[in-house]
Structure 1
Amino acid sequence: MEPNVSIAAMAAQLFVRDDQVVLDNGLLKLTLTTPEGLITGIQYNGLDNLLELNNPDLNGGFWDLNWSEAGSSGTRGSFDKIDGTEFRVIVENEEQIEVSFKRTWDPSFEGKHAPLTIDKRFIMLRGSPGFYSYAIYEHTEDMDAFILNETRIAFMLSIQKFHYMAMADDRQRNLPLPEDRLPPRGRQLAYPEAVLLVDPVEPEFKGEVDDKYQYSCENKDNKVHGFICTEPPVGFWQITPSNEFRTGGPLKQDLTSHVNPTTLAMFVSAHYGGEDLVIKFGKGEPWKKVFGPVFIYLNSVSDEKDSILLWGDAKEQMKKEVQNWPYSFPASEDFPRSDERGSIRGRLFAQDRYISNENIPAKGAYVGVAPPGATGSFQTENKGYQFWANADDDGYFSIINIRPGVYNIYAWVPGFIGDYRYEKAIVITAGCAINMGDLVYTPPRDGPTLWEIGIPDRSAAEFFVPDPNPMYINKLYINRPADRFRQYGLWERYADLYPDKDLEYTVGIDDYSKDLFYAQVTRKVGENAYQGTTWQIKFELDSVDQSGKYTLRIALASANVSILEVRINNPEANPPEFSSGLIGKDNAIARHGIHGLYWLFHVDVESSLLVQGLNTIYLTQAQNESALHGIMYDYIRLEGPPPINLPKL
């Protein structure tokens, strides 16, 4: 869809000047400062520059990071726009240009920059309507301990040109202007990212909430997003063909594109996970990682009325980039080619004798390899690489293009609680093709299901998500059942729906999709005062087996600075039958995520606590310092004692 350019003009060319470097292949010109490696110009399709350079805070395109001194708490530290100190030409011919902007760690940087050596690379190929960027981060034995909170590549696009954002077929729209977010046009809500547009430049946005987290998505779906300019019709797209270098696994959520207009490729962040996802380095700890390459793709059409076609073309280009992964052209030896990688395959079953006497093919299971760790550790793993695939309907999986290294196999199966981890480490070598054969996951289970609430899928999406307060809406998500949770301020609706007492749910009568609020949050009881909430789960037992033990399984889809307490038939029991202790900092409720990190708890319930007839489980979220404490349930199940005649495994 790009303009016609003669083949001769498409040869890649490099122009080096005193303070800038220009890469040109006839389709576009990419201008960077030297030796810093900051992107100051992208010229394409008659537009002198697609980037915004007038923003006094952040402008152009750049790699950056946020870091803290060792021992710091929280997830915010010092901002570091990564300026290179050494420029090098890595590859220069008619087919490809690759340039490097490197900052080698020096003790004189102490306190000013994160103790890392960072090599930023940019690649332009002949005839390609875009460019690639990747970076090699390294921490060596002469470097101090520190914390890496976040790193990414960011592009600040022309405010005058780019207003229409697209990051999914059903999540795209015109966005307000950055000035609409500033007083007096905008009013900050519960946190700085959320702003009510009270007097926007364009009246169509009046009364809406703008919040960049409303456009987050899971890593597995975060492959292409960007903006469309209509005069002339040009698309700017950030394409990430692999998740191998992102932290937190396939369900980790992160930012995409949002107001300013801004397009991001996030690699490390604490979003939807909290402090568990920042990277903590010890003094002299050896570490090296390649982030990227990501592809910045540009496209165009001749008629403004066809502008929306640019999104469809960007999706097709994304598929091509995915098919071409791992790329063959990056010149760094730290980026292994396809023949330098390995693969594993196998078949996964779930074994639950209370469901079937036969092993059950793990349909749709997420199966992956990640650095060795405890069961479920992949969701907070942050230093290595991860590779994931979905099993087919019969449980067969194949994971390809795995970097050489030592890994564990991890998995979880929709419809079953808990996590699978293969007990032995797997060594991947260049060219290996490992057949794991049949693997069997035995999910936690002690007895038959007496009742269950929800679907074990690591999400609270099946529960009741309320309509938003009409004062705080994003029009994109109105009348969109699957995205109801993306509206601002839904936590405040709990008190609207339960003004006098907390939620009560009766098993066998109530419907969790209508009667179980999607998040157990605090209740506001004063100007700046909140109280914890206690939900009741009521259920009948025809009889109680006094010789056996019952088990309550509670899977959480999210927790944010919360304490979950469980009491059985006595709301005043002290201590409670179970307390989670203080858990979670994923902030998924405030950031419009229907899940954060997954938690699974097992509560032994002595038969003496239960009665024949009506029983009540009291679930208390005890933290009460703010409106944003809360948990989301994934699934709750009560199991009876195991029968004597259970079929043997």
Structure 2
Amino acid sequence: MVVMSNGIVQVTLQNPEGHITRIQYKGIDNLLEVQKNESSRGYWDVVWSPPGSTRTEGTLESVTGTICKVIKETQDQVEVSFSRTWNFSLKGKSVPLKIDKRYIMLRGSSGFYTYAIFEHVKGWPSFDLEATRVAFKLRRDKFHYMAMSNDDRQRDMPLPEDRFPERSKTLDYPEAVLLVDPLERKFKGQVDDKYQYTCELKDLRVHGWICTDPAVGFWQITPSNEFRVGGPIKQELTSHVGPTTLSIFSSAHYGGNDMVIKFEENESWKKVLGPIFIYLNTIPDGKNPYTLWNDAKHQMSIEVDRWPYDFPASPDFQSARQRGTVMGRLLVQDSFINSHGYISANGAYIGLAPPGDVGSWQRETKQYQFWTKTNKEGYFTIKNIIVGEYNLYAWVPGFIGDYKNSKIINITPGRI
């Protein structure tokens, strides 16, 4: 085992696999589900298949490290790597990727960070990557209240047993069940479906669970969506009955085959997924435990302001000084509204994504995207853009269609 501790949180990981087996916090020996196998409590996994396969043929594979290495260890920070590579003896048996998953703990921090570097080497087999995620299975005897997105999307949740065939009725698809005989009568007649808790990426910054006795919150904070696929209105799963919390970096949800990442044999590719922050919080005895949600939102704002982080040790994660900025103004010409000139694009979504057709950002799966909103006059600033070539895309509430600036924008370090 590998143990990371800063006196506030202690995290135990399998060596060299890199699966999280235990999270200790505020006197609770383990926040993760102790009835689960140790490798099925906190883990990275992927779904992949041979090229051209249907989604139902995908193989779910746990990302299991074979080499453990301490990357950085100081009084203020520790970063541990659990990596694995691929060779031709694994053809057809394992996803053809080199994966380096990492965990970071900082001094004085009530939580820990995780990120991964995925790489496909030229000459390795072609394949389809349907999904990439981090999952945490929490204690079912402690975490019953889920909170996400807007303040009105939070509730007490049923138990996993309530979905068993003898207590529920499957509806039009297996994820959706009618709770017929739940253990807690208040859930009787309700429908449970993990897709009820999906969220557009632009709104998916923090979600998690609350334990009321003792008052402890477990939160997943995503300070940037630059490394996710499909742009700001792509929907992804968040949390569901289990209790389970997810960070999904790529999936075919709500997009189908267009959202499957397809790799060719002659293709070189590398991408950093994350870091995301697993935040733990508590309050004094006697206080309302549901206020943990407000504190989690406050911490989310702090993490967003700190992005891009300055502490990841991988050279593949670009720091703020290695990135660039784009500034501009978006105006709309609509003679039916204003026949004398342009209209300021108030509240428009505008972003940089790899060069493509109008609207292609919605199907982009391999590279990075950077989005913001314009002010009342249509002005915008997009900061901390990773070096590369992009097109500028936009859509404006109240106006039909997508917008694209056909000029290629080349981002270089430190330039505006």
What's the TM-score, normalizing by structure 2?
0.98
1:114 and 2:98 are equivalent in the alignment: no
Cα shift readout 1:130-152 (whole Å, capped 9, x = no counterpart): 00000000001131000000001
Offset of 1:258 from its aligned partner? 1.2
CA distance in 2, matches of 1:52, 1:76: 29
Alpha-carbon distance, 1:56 to partner: 5.8
C-alpha offsets along residues 170-217 of structure 1, whole Å, 9 cap, x if unaligned?
A: 111110001111110122111111011111111110110001111111
Which letter does structure 2 place at the counterpart of 1:51?
L
2:412 to 429, 432, 441: 429
Moved more, 352-361 or 50-59: 50-59
Structure 1 consecutive aligned stretches of length 4 or more whose deviation exceeds 6 Å: none
Q: Give runs of aligned pairs for residues 115-134 of structure 1, distance below 5 A.
A: 115-134=96-115
Distance 1:57 1:339, change over 3 A: closer
User: Which residue in 1 is equivalent to 2:192?
Assistant: 210
Kept in 2, the 8 Å contact 1:58–1:156? The answer is no
Q: Distance in 2 between matches of 1:273 and 1:75?
A: 15
AA matched with 2:130: N
Answer whether contact 2:21 2:39 (CA < 8 A) is retained: no
Deviations 1:231-271 (A, max 9, x none): 11100000000000010000101111111000011100111
| Shift, 1:76, TM fit | 5.1
> Which residue is 1:409 aligned to?
392
Structure 1 residues 56-94: Cα deviation after superposition (integer angstroms, max 9, x where no partner): 698310000000101212365000010001111100111
In the alignment, does 2:215 pair up with 1:233? Answer: yes
What amino acid is the match of 1:389? T
2:255 corresponds, among 273, 278, 298, to 273
1: CA distance, partners of 2:37 / 2:385: 42
Q: Show structure 2 runs of 5+ residues with no match.
A: none
Note the residue ranges of structure 1 that are not aligned, 5 or more in a row: 1-19, 434-649
Alignment of 1:171-570 (within 5 A): 171-357=153-339, 358-433=341-416
Superimposed CA distance per residue, residues 575-622 of structure 1 (whole angstroms, 9 cap, x where no aligned partner): xxxxxxxxxxxxxxxxxxxxxxxxxxxxxxxxxxxxxxxxxxxxxxxx
Are the structure 2 counterparts of residues 76 and 232 from structure 1 closer, same or farther at C-alpha, using a change threshold of 3 Å?
Answer: farther
Q: Is the 8 A contact 1:230 1:304 kept in 2?
A: no
Shift of residue 275, structure 1, vs aligned partner: 1.0
- 2:65 partner SS: coil
1 CA distance for matches of 2:330 and 2:196?
Answer: 35
Query: 1:510 matched to which residue of 2?
Result: none
Give the letter aligned to residue 114 of structure 2: S
Cα distance between partner residues in 1 of 2:85 and 2:251: 23
Query: Judging changes above 3 Å, is the alpha-carbon distance between structure 1 residues 25 and 326 closer, same or farther for their aligned structure 2 residues?
Result: same
Q: Hey, what's the Cα distance between the residues in 1 that align with 2:90 and 2:21?
A: 25
Which residue pairs with 1:515 in the alignment? none
Structure possessing the higher radius of gyration over alpha carbons: 1
Pick closer, same or farther for the CA change 1:376–1:70 going to 2, 3 Å. Answer: same
Residue identity opposite 2:383 in structure 1: I
C-alpha separation in 2, matches of 1:232 and 1:344 = 47
Structure 2: how far apart are the matches of 1:283 and 1:329? 34
Aligned-residue sequence identity (percent) comes to 60
Q: Distance in 2 between matches of 1:214 and 1:406?
A: 37
Match of 2:18 among 37, 41, 49: 37
> 2:196 corresponds to which letter in structure 1?
Q
Q: Contact between 1:75 and 1:274, CA under 8 Å: does it hold in 2?
A: no
Following the alignment from structure 1 to structure 2, what is the Cα–Cα distance between the partners of residues 140 and 56?
33
- Give, in whole Å, the separation in 1 of the partners of 2:216 and 2:48: 35
2:280 counterpart letter in structure 1: L
Task: Please give the alpha-carbon distance, in whole angstroms, between the structure 1 residues aligned to 2:121 and 2:355.
Answer: 21
Say what the alpha-carbon RMSD is for the aligned residues: 1.2
Q: Distance in 2 between matches of 1:346 and 1:321?
A: 26
Q: Is the 8 A contact 2:21 2:38 kept in 1?
A: no
2-side partners of 1:174 and 1:109: how far apart?
44
In 2, distance between residues paired with 1:32 and 1:117? Answer: 20
Q: Does the CA-based 8 Å contact 1:53-1:59 persist in structure 2? A: no
1:117 deviates by 0.3
CA distance in 2, matches of 1:289, 1:329: 18
Asked if 2 retains the 8 angstrom alpha-carbon contact of 1:166 and 1:226, the reply is yes
Question: One-letter code of the match for 1:86?
Answer: I
Matched position secondary structure for 1:346: strand
Q: State the structure with bigger RCO (CA 8 A, min sep 6), 1 or 2.
A: 2
Aligned partners of 1:245, 1:71: CA distance in 2, in Å? 25
